[in-house]
Amino acid sequence: MCKYFMFDALRQAINEEMDSDQSVFILGEDVGHYGGSYKVTKDLHAKYGDLRVLDTPIAENSFTGMAIGAAMTGLRPIVEGMNMSFLLLAFNQIANNAGMLRYTSGGNFKIPLVIRGPGGVGRQLGAEHSQRLEAYFQAIPGLKIVACSTPYNAKGLLKSAIRDNNPVIFFEHVLLYNLQQDLPKDSYFLPLDKAEIVRSGSQVTIVTYSRMRYHVMQAVDTLIEEGYDPEIIDLISLKPLDLPTIIESIKKTHRVIIVEECMKTGGIAAELIAQINDSCFDLLDSPVIRLSSQDIPTPYNGNLEKATVIHPHQIVEAIKINCPVKV
C-alpha cells in the first residue's frame, strides 16, 4: 500500500485504462502539455501523444459533441472540464445527445463516455466557478452520475466509469484533490451504483456525499462523545440512487438527515426525500431532515461563501434537535 493524493489516484486510473485499452483517450482544455488545471493528466501527453491526449480550444459544446461522436464509433473518450461549471455550455450535447442516443438509435449506438472534472464550492472561486451542478444533470435520462469522495473510491470508480458503456458524469470536488490515502498496488474497480456505509450506527441515518462527507465525520466525532450513535452513508452514486442500502439503514434507525452541498430547491436531497417517502414512509419516526446550501449564487467574499454551505456544528445541532434520545 502506498499513500497518494486524490489527483494522483485519478491519474493512475486514467493511465491504467489508457495503457490497457487503445480506444481510451482524454480531451479538454490544457489536459496535454500543461497536465490539467489540477494536474490529473500530468505527464500523460508525454506518454501517449497528441492523438490520445488532446488539448482542445475553449469550446465546451464543440469538444463534448466531438467526444460523443467518438464514443458512437467505439472509442472511449474522457472529457475533462477545466471546471465542471463550464460544461453548462455543453448542456445540449450532454442532454440531447449523450443521454438520448443509445435509446433513440434503438440500441444501435453505445455511448461509453466519461465527463469528469472539478466542481463544488471552493475557496473564493466566485459564483461561476463554484456551482453545484449535480442536480442540473440528475434530471437527464440516460446518464449515470458519480461523486467520488476519497482517493480510494476516486480511482476505483473512475476505472469502472471508463469501462461502462453508458455516459457517466463524474464529479470531483475541487477541495478534495489534496486528500491522501493508501491505495492498493493492484488494479481494482468499484461499482458505480452503490453507496458506502462509512460508519454503522443505530440511532439516525446521515446521508451525504462528496466534500460534505468530511463535515459529517467531524460532526459525528462530537456526537459520539455525547453518546449518540449515528450511521453515515456516502451516496457516491447520485444517479441511480442506492435506495436499498438507505432503506436497510432506515430499518435500524428510523430517522434520516441528509447533508448536501447542493442547493435546497430541487437538490439531490429533495429527490432522495421523495424516494424515501415513496418507498419506506412507514419506517420513519420523524420527517426526513435536509441540510442544504443556500439558494443563492456562491459569494466571492470568504465569510459569505462560508455561510452558504453546511458546517459540522449545524449537523450536530440538527441531530440534537431531531434525535433527542441518546443510546
Residues annotated catalytic, as ranges: 60, 129
Residue 260 CB coordination number (10 Å): 29
| CA separation for the pair 240, 199 (Å, rounded) | 22
Cα→Cα distances 121→63, 67, 125, Å: 25, 27, 8
Give me the count of residues in the chain: 327
- Going through 129-234 in order, the beta strands assigned E by DSSP cover 144-147, 168-173, 180-183, 196-199, 204-208, 230-234
| CA separation for the pair 156, 127 (Å, rounded) | 31
Partnered with residue 183 across adjacent β-strands are: 2
Cα→Cα distances 185→1, 3, 11, 121, Å: 6, 10, 14, 32
DSSP 204-239: EEEEE-TTHHHHHHHHHHHHHHTT--EEEEE--EEE
Residue 186 CB coordination number (10 Å): 5
Phi, psi angles (nearest 5°) of residue 289: -100, 135
Partnered with residue 206 across adjacent β-strands are: 232, 257
Burial-class residue 71 by CB neighbours within 10 Å (0-12, 13-18, 19+). Answer: buried
DSSP reduced 3-state for 246: helix
Residue 276 CB coordination number (10 Å): 22
DSSP 269-308: HHHHHHHHHHHHGGG-SSPPEEEEE-SSPPPSSHHHHHHH
